Amino acid sequence: MANKNYLLTVVGPTAIGKTALAIQLANYYNCNIISCDSRQFYKEMEIGTAVPSKTELEQAPHHFIQNKSIFENYTVGDFEIEALAKLEELFQSNNVQILVGGSGLYVDAVLKGFDEFPEVAMHVRQNLIALYEKNGIAYLQQQLQTLDPEYFTFLQQNNPQTLENPQRMMRFLEVTIGSEKPYSSYLGKRTQTRNFTPIIIGLTADREKMYERINLRVDIMLKNGLLDEVKNLYPNKNLNALQTVGYREIFDYLDGNTDLETATEEIKKNTRRFAKRQITWFKRTENTHWFDYKTDYNEIINTVNSIIQS
Query: Running DSSP on this structure, what letter comes out for residue 189?
Result: -
- Model confidence pLDDT, tens digit, residues 280-296: 889 888 899 999 999 99
- pLDDT over 70 at 191, yes or no: no
Task: Say how many residues make up the chain.
Answer: 310
Q: What's the mean per-residue pLDDT of the chain?
A: 91
**In terms of domains, do 220 and 242 share one?**
yes
224 CB-near residues (< 8 Å, 6+ apart): 47
Name which of 160-164, 227-231, 233-237, 276-280 the model is least confident about.
160-164
Q: Are residues 224 and 303 in the same domain?
A: yes
Same domain as 260, residue 199? yes
Are 46 and 66 in contact, with CB atoms under 8 Å apart?
yes
Q: Are residues 149 and 107 in the same domain?
A: no
Contact between 209 and 275 under an 8 Å Cβ cutoff? The reply is: no
**Does 164 lie in the same domain as 27?**
no
Q: What is the rounded end-to-end Cα distance, in angstroms, of the chain? A: 9
Give the domain extent around 155.
Answer: 122-186
CA distance 94 to 6: 9
**How many domains are contained in the chain?**
2
Tell me the pLDDT tens digit for each residue of 88-135. Answer: 999 999 999 999 998 888 998 899 886 677 888 888 988 999 999 999
Taking alpha carbons only, the member of 144, 152, 146, 148 closest to residue 185 is 148
> Do 144 and 173 meet the contact criterion of CB atoms below 8 Å apart?
yes
Q: Which helix (H) or strand (E) holds 288?
A: strand 288-292
Whether the CB-CB separation of 240 and 160 falls below 8 Å is answered with yes
Tell me: is residue 15 an annotated ligand-binding position. yes
Percentages (nearest 5) of helix, strand, coil residues in the chain: 55, 10, 35
Q: Which of 138, 170, 186 corresponds to the end of one domain?
A: 186
Whether pTM > 0.85 for this model: the answer is: no
Asked if residue 1 is part of any domain, the answer here is no
Taking the C-alpha atoms of residue 126 and residue 264, their distance in angstroms, rounded to an integer, is 44
Domain boundary among 159, 186, 213: 186
162 with 241, same domain: the answer is no
197 in a known ligand binding site: no
Please say if the pLDDT value at position 186 is more than 50: yes
The reply, when asked if residue 202 is annotated as ligand binding, is no
- Which tens digit of pLDDT belongs to each residue from 256-273? 999 999 999 999 999 999
62: β partners: 33
Tell me: is residue 136 an annotated ligand-binding position. Answer: no
% of the chain residues with pLDDT over 90? 68
CATH number, position 165: 1.10.20
d(CA 88, CA 93): 10
- 14 appears as a binding residue in the annotation: yes
Do 157 and 252 lie in a common domain?
no
17, burial (CB in 10 Å: exposed 0-12, middle 13-18, buried 19+): middle
Domain identity same for 227 and 303: yes
Task: Output the pLDDT for position 1.
Answer: 39
CA distances from 120 to 96, 117, 173, 180 (A): 41, 9, 11, 10
The answer to whether the annotation marks 49 as part of a ligand binding site is no
Q: Of 132, 153, 186, which marks where a domain is finished?
A: 186
